[in-house]
A and B are shown apart, each in its own frame.
Chain A
Amino acid sequence: MMPDLGKYAVAVLGSYGAGLGLLLAIVGLTIWQGARMRRALAEVEARAGQGGQDG
């Protein structure tokens, strides 16, 4: 299944490792920051007795 990358295996696998790692990092960071902000806002809105503005 794994293609024969020959003498360029390090360059190709390194590129995919770094590229996918960075993509996963920004997706993970976005989800984490979003969840943290949603929780913080829900707490303050509950204290203030207000509903949220989003769907």
Chain B
Amino acid sequence: MSIWEYANPKKFMQTSAWALPWVSGAAAVCLVTGLVWGFFFTPDDFRQGSTVKIIYLHVPAAMMAINAWVMMLVTSLIWIVRRHHVSALAAKAAAPVGLTFTLIALVTGALWGQPMWGTWWAWDPRLTSFLILGLFYLGYIALWAAVDNPDTAADLTGVLCIVGSVFAVLSRYAVNFWNQGLHQGASLSMDAEENVADVFWVPLVVCIVGFILLFVALVLARTRTEIRARRLAALVARERMA
């Protein structure tokens, strides 16, 4: 049993058909539990008031926006090195999901920043690198759409993904690199001097698990669609030649 078996589209479709309902169900349970718990059953923060409830959307979305790009980087590298089509299609499938998480992080961040910092936006290192990551997602999706040959598109987007990884890393570590700006450091770091209190931490972890599972479910579903689209294109081409 090797992980490379899943590079076979037939094997991937069989396994994902079995896994998708379970992953989707678990994602729904975690998200509903975490968000309801966080919104209705957690107290206000002594400094940030009720805006602390935004953490249950903002932090998981921001984490997954970065992690989605990391997943795309790994699958793109697998395509570049080993030429497994399912891997390239999984990267393509993940991009709109990563872009959505980036948008959620930016919008909820702006809505959170206005009452706390007195501004919707600042050209802070973390915010700026996150905005650029969002633009890389847009460029990545546009490049897939612009190139007709799927293998060439996978090659070019793979290179773009490697370049964009710089901003994925910067989005995560900008606060540490520059040690300036409005955005605080990590809220969940094991070695941070100031971590979120347990009353906020537990529902936050449930939400993070929910976002991870939702990402996996969406990428599985979208990869299945991409595999079908590839097969459809092959059958249509064969019909035209007949």
Contact = CB atoms under 8 A, between A and B. Distances in A.
B97 A34 contact: no
A11 B6 CA distance: 44
Best-surrounded residue of B114, B115, B231 (most CB of chain A within 10 A): B231
Given A15-B58, A40-B232, A8 B13 contact: no
Interface string A1-23: 10111111101101110111011
Contacts of A23: 31, 100, 104, 214
- 7 cross-chain pairs, A with B, having the tightest CB-CB distances, nearest first: A54-B13, A55-B17, A19-B57, A5-B50, A15-B108, A26-B100, A15-B54
Interface residues on A, range: 35 or more
A34 B231 contact: no
A33 B238 CA distance: 23
Contacts of B118: none
Interface in B46-71: 49-51, 53-54, 57-58, 61
Nearest to A32: B225
A18 B221 contact: no
A34 B13 CA distance: 13
Contact of B96 (A7, A26, A31): A26
Contacts of B222: 30, 33-34
A25 B103 CA distance: 12
Contacts of B13: 53-55
A26 B100 CA distance: 7
A11 B119 CA distance: 12
Contacts, number: 116
Given A1-B40, A12-B50, A18 B18 contact: no
Contact of B232 (A27, A37, A54): A37
A50 B234 CA distance: 13
Contacts of B104: 18-19, 22-23
Interface of A: 1, 3-9, 11-12, 14-16, 18-20, 22-23, 25-27, 29-31, 33-34, 37-38, 40-41, 44-45, 47-48, 50, 53-55
A25 to B, nearest CB: 7
Given A15-B57, A53-B10, 9 more contacts: A3-B50, A15-B54, A22-B107, A23-B104, A30-B218, A37-B225, A48-B235, A54-B13, A54-B224
A9 B111 CA distance: 11
Contacts of A44: 232, 235-236, 239
A8 B49 contact: yes
A25 B107 CA distance: 15
Contacts of B18: 55
Given A5-B50, A48-B239, A53-B13, A15 B232 contact: no
B97 A45 contact: no
